[in-house]
Amino acid sequence: MVTLEDLQTYCKGKKIIIVGNSSSLLNSNNGKLIDNYEIVVRINRGYYARQQLYDGILGSKTDIVSIGVKMAVQAATIIESNSVKYILSPIIHSEKLSYHNVYDVAQDTYNSLKESLGNIKPSTGISTYNFFNRFIDFARLDLIGFDFFESSSRQRNQLGHIKVPDHNGSKELLFFEKSHDPGKTLIHKLKGGNTMINNIPTHSQHNQFFFKNNNKRR
């Protein structure tokens, strides 16, 4: 059984990127950028889209998969992958994933986030961000493929899931803007992404910072 301390130890002091499932992520090749992070977190069926369809432009690395939907069969397949270290379950639902490397986020963490969003069900993406932002002592925590539902979801478009999400993108964006540290966290702007994201450093500005500092460590 995975504990919070296990994840905190694994992620401490690392540069982490959470890869969302916005279809705007497919408008440019972000594979090198994603794979240069020390820990890559992917969400729900986006893990399979990366494997099956878009390995080059979405990167090839996955360290943690965050699952917020009922994916027991898929979870078993993920666990068999040598590259995936942990599975995070940030959404509270009736079925639990009973595997040795799954961490279930506490009920009060989920409830607090839901209350912050006006009692609207949080998406897996914002729930994953909230967990890392609250509980992990990271060097950086960046997001890519997040446009807060302005464009359609890649996993629904490409893998046949067409249900419209019962989430509120505007409230999730506002929550992010209020809770993140601009010195340690940004959302990579993507072509065709959310035009509401105005006060976040640009993709190119962060690339200069990230690769400059990454090269120093090598």
Query: Which pLDDT score, from 0 to 100, does residue 198 have?
Result: 34
Q: For residue 106, give the CATH number of its domain.
A: 3.90.1480
Q: What are the backbone dihedrals phi and psi of residue 211, each rounded to the nearest 5 degrees, phi first?
A: -70, -30
Q: Is the pLDDT at 202 greater than 90, yes or no?
A: no
Query: Which pLDDT score, from 0 to 100, does residue 212 have?
Result: 39
Q: Is the pLDDT at 199 greater than 50, yes or no?
A: no
- Please give the tally of structural domains in the chain: 1
Bridge partners, residue 22, by sequence: 153
**HSE value, Cβ hemisphere, 13 Å, CA-based, for 203:** 15
Joined tokens for residue 63: 């360290």
Tens digit of each residue's pLDDT (9 = 90 or more) over 14-61: 999 999 888 777 777 888 899 999 999 998 876 655 554 555 688 888
CB 66 within 8 A of CB 41: yes
Among 8-12, 27-31, 173-177, name the most confident range.
8-12
Question: How buried is 154 (Cβ within 10 angstroms: 0-12 exposed, 13-18 middle, 19+ buried)?
Answer: buried
Tens digit of each residue's pLDDT (9 = 90 or more) over 71-105: 555 555 666 565 789 989 888 765 666 667 889 89
CA dihedral 140→144→147→149, nearest 10 degrees, is: -110
In angstroms, the Cα distances linking 20 to 17, 127, 162, 212 are: 10, 12, 17, 25
Query: Which pLDDT score, from 0 to 100, does residue 76 have?
Result: 55
Tens digit of each residue's pLDDT (9 = 90 or more) over 117-169: 999 889 899 999 999 999 999 999 999 988 776 665 444 444 344 444 577 77
Residue 93 structural domain: 4-217
